[in-house]
Amino acid sequence: MKSGGYSSLSGGLQRFWSPCESKEIKEMNIKLIIGVATVIVFVILYFLLKGLLLSLFRRRKYRKVEDRIRKRIKPLSKEKIGEKRYSVSEYKECIRRTKDKNVKAWGQWLLAQFYHNNSHRQKDYLDKAIECYTDIRKEFSDYPFHEESLFRLGNLLFFEKMDYRKVCYVYQELLERYPRSKWVTIAKERVNLVRNNLTYPQALNDYILAEKYFERGKYEKSIQNLLDIIEKYPKSGLASEALYFLGDIYHFKLKDYSKAMDEYQNLIQEFSQNRFVANAQFKIAECCRKREKWQEAIKAYEKFIKDYSQYGYSDYAQFYIGQCYEKLEDWKKAKDAYSLISTNYSESIWTDVARNRIKYLDKHPGG
């Protein structure tokens, strides 16, 4: 029985593993392996081709962005109607990828301007503008926009960050590197303002905010900050600066000549050694003239000539005295005033004008 059972099992195994069936399985396995390998190859080729096409597309796209940078076209702008706009991120990626230093430099400049001019769009745009200007300051000092980048960086640190140490450092670099810059006067003023008033940091903050509001046309807010300085920090050097600033806002922006005169007069009376007292006296006379208070204007101009002739502009004051007398129809005094210009200020730009006024009044008695 055992022998017969074993033979029966052996015969069954032989039937299951027949040579023909084994060959078929091998062929199926080979086909499966070939099929899988083919799929893998196709997948690899697909991704390689996709990567190649994507790379070519990106190269083409960034070549277009580079061309836009070379043409000084800012992000999200277009040169022609219907032309595609390119995003900030595409500019940034182009700048990161390119090996062309000119593209990097001009790209940073365009991005800096974009962030700076569109700071209302996102909260972090001013910080990004500062980053761009800082990169330009460090990496691209041989480019024509380096000077303006220093000034703009100083402005952002001054108005937005109130980082006084960095403000002085950046403006000082501007002054040393570009001594003939059109921003020299502003940079000097702000460096001195900061260095002379660090003992009154809150007053300094208020003054800078007043300037910031003034630049944005928010004159009432500017006035409030200046009044706070005068009230809270009367012994600071900024109190006198605030008085003069107030006078100018009332004078030139709000056209409230009466209030302007009050502020200028307060400056002269309370801070007689301030650097702006001569200007304040001249502007009092100007306000009188604009209000058509001719006699008051004459007295104010005469006081300027008497007390502040060393500051210049006395010839201007003398000419305007002549004009005021003409308005009063006092022709003799008008001619006398004009004649003093030739006598006392022979090199003045008003000399020929004054002579012509005298000739006119001689020919046309009574004006």
Please, which residues have CB within 8 angstroms of residue 115's CB and are 6 or more apart in sequence?
125, 126, 128, 129, 132
36-40, 232-236, 294-298, range with the lowest pLDDT: 36-40
* Alpha carbons 101 and 355: distance in angstroms, whole number: 61
95, containing H or E segment: helix 88-97
User: For residues 79 and 95, is the Cβ–Cβ distance under 8 A?
Assistant: no
Which one has a higher pLDDT value, 34 or 285?
285
The answer to whether residue 115 scores a pLDDT higher than 60 is: yes
The answer to whether residue 61 scores a pLDDT higher than 60 is: no
* Prediction pTM value: 0.76
Return the beta strands (E) in 125-184 as ranges: none
The answer to whether residue 197 scores a pLDDT higher than 70 is: yes
Structure confidence at residue 364 (pLDDT): 81
Structure confidence at residue 20 (pLDDT): 62
Domains annotated on the chain, with CATH = 198-273 (1.25.40.10), 276-367 (1.25.40.10)
Which one has a higher pLDDT value, 59 or 116?
116
User: For residues 67 and 103, is the Cβ–Cβ distance under 8 A?
Assistant: no
The answer to whether residue 98 scores a pLDDT higher than 70 is: yes
The answer to whether residue 79 scores a pLDDT higher than 80 is: no
pLDDT band at 76; cut points 50, 70, 90: confident
Calculate mean pLDDT across residues 215-238.
Answer: 96
Burial (CB < 10 A; 0-12, 13-18, 19+), residue 259, is middle
- Which tokens in the block code for residue 223? 């006035």
- Which tokens in the block code for residue 170? 């950046």
Structure confidence at residue 34 (pLDDT): 84
Calculate mean pLDDT across residues 359-367.
Answer: 82
- Which tokens in the block code for residue 48? 């390689």
103-107, 194-198, 281-285, 362-366, range with the lowest pLDDT: 362-366
pLDDT band at 9; cut points 50, 70, 90: very low
Structure confidence at residue 52 (pLDDT): 54
φ and ψ of 198, to 5 deg: -70, -20
* Alpha carbons 24 and 30: distance in angstroms, whole number: 10
pLDDT band at 21; cut points 50, 70, 90: low
Q: What percent of the chain has pLDDT over 90?
A: 71
Per DSSP, 85 falls in state: P
CA-atom Rg of the chain in angstroms: 40
The amino acid that residue 353 corresponds to is V
Structure confidence at residue 1 (pLDDT): 47
Structure confidence at residue 159 (pLDDT): 95
The answer to whether residue 12 scores a pLDDT higher than 80 is: no
Structure confidence at residue 101 (pLDDT): 95
Structure confidence at residue 56 (pLDDT): 47
The answer to whether residue 319 scores a pLDDT higher than 80 is: yes
Structure confidence at residue 279 (pLDDT): 97
The answer to whether residue 280 scores a pLDDT higher than 50 is: yes
**Helix, strand or coil, per DSSP, at residue 13:** helix
Query: Nearest Cα to 196, choosing from 237, 155, 240?
Result: 237
